[in-house]
Chain A
């Protein structure tokens, strides 16, 4: 029994250790405007090659997010409708890339909270 417990603990530790050391996430508060893009310039850096950008918000279906290169808003992803579940905003970014977010809404203006994931995700 004791040996089994030690084994389980070892597996659990290995699983925790397997999480990428540089995984990054944060809570976000995103203002959005009706039929108008808001370009935010809080830059975030991808440190793990091949990372994705995901997000989820507290109230789904009311607003959209897109990633863009902070220095060039013409280099960007498509707007993605944000949901209360984790939703992909962009994929397979190269290490060293700095990205920013843009918001809009086809329905209304407001502010919504949520979570953003990037490097190592």
Chain B
């Protein structure tokens, strides 16, 4: 009997730990107005290439919760994605006009900054690293794929 109880103890401890894990705080939510303000406030903390600054009103309108709700901090992911769009397009812009300084700046951001975005998305970080590696070798195919699949709704100023 004692042996049975001893055997059950670790199981019950695990059960308590699991239940405790379920008691994590519920996420806080924001409405469209609060979301739009967060987008405006956070966008200024990022650097943008010349000619590729997003229209933040349009971005907040398209990516925000509208009449519904979004978790607090939602703007970070959207701004990071938009920033990646800006630098991939900025790099291509610079290549087309033969601006080596701008191309070099864009490559540096693609290599050192963009792969650090979205730590909760390791696939995305790997994709960003591979995109930078290919771009440094003169191959813009992954950057073009990213732009084609994620950036069509961004309006640039």
B37 contacts across to A, CB distance below 8 A: none
- B48-93 contacts to A, CB under 8 A, are 59, 62-66, 68-71, 73-78, 81-82
- A30-89 contacts to B, CB under 8 A, are 31, 33, 36-47, 69-75
Q: A47-B127, A96-B127, A111-B26 are in contact. Are A39 and B65 (CB under 8 A)?
A: yes
Determine if A74 and B145 form an interchain contact, defined as CB atoms under 8 angstroms apart: no
Q: How far apart sit A111 and B118, CA to CA, in the bound complex (Å)?
A: 24
Q: How far apart sit A44 and B125, CA to CA, in the bound complex (Å)?
A: 10
Q: How far apart sit A99 and B25, CA to CA, in the bound complex (Å)?
A: 25
Determine if B81 and A31 form an interchain contact, defined as CB atoms under 8 angstroms apart: no
B26 contacts across to A, CB distance below 8 A: 31, 111
Determine if B66 and A44 form an interchain contact, defined as CB atoms under 8 angstroms apart: no
B75 contacts across to A, CB distance below 8 A: 41
Determine if B66 and A41 form an interchain contact, defined as CB atoms under 8 angstroms apart: no
Determine if A69 and B124 form an interchain contact, defined as CB atoms under 8 angstroms apart: no
Q: Indicate the size class of the contact surface on chain B.
A: 35 or more
A8 at the binding interface (Cβ < 8 Å)? no
B136 at the binding interface (Cβ < 8 Å)? no
A105 at the binding interface (Cβ < 8 Å)? no
Determine if A96 and B120 form an interchain contact, defined as CB atoms under 8 angstroms apart: no
Q: A31-B27, A45-B123 are in contact. Are A69 and B74 (CB under 8 A)?
A: no
23 A-B pairs in the complex with CB atoms less than 8 angstroms apart = A36-B68, A38-B29, A38-B69, A39-B65, A40-B70, A41-B63, A41-B71, A43-B124, A44-B123, A45-B121, A46-B123, A47-B126, A47-B127, A70-B78, A71-B63, A72-B63, A72-B152, A72-B153, A73-B63, A94-B148, A94-B149, A96-B149, A98-B149
Q: What is the interface of chain A, defined by CB distance below 8 A to chain B?
A: 22, 24, 31, 33, 36-47, 69-75, 94-98, 100, 111, 119
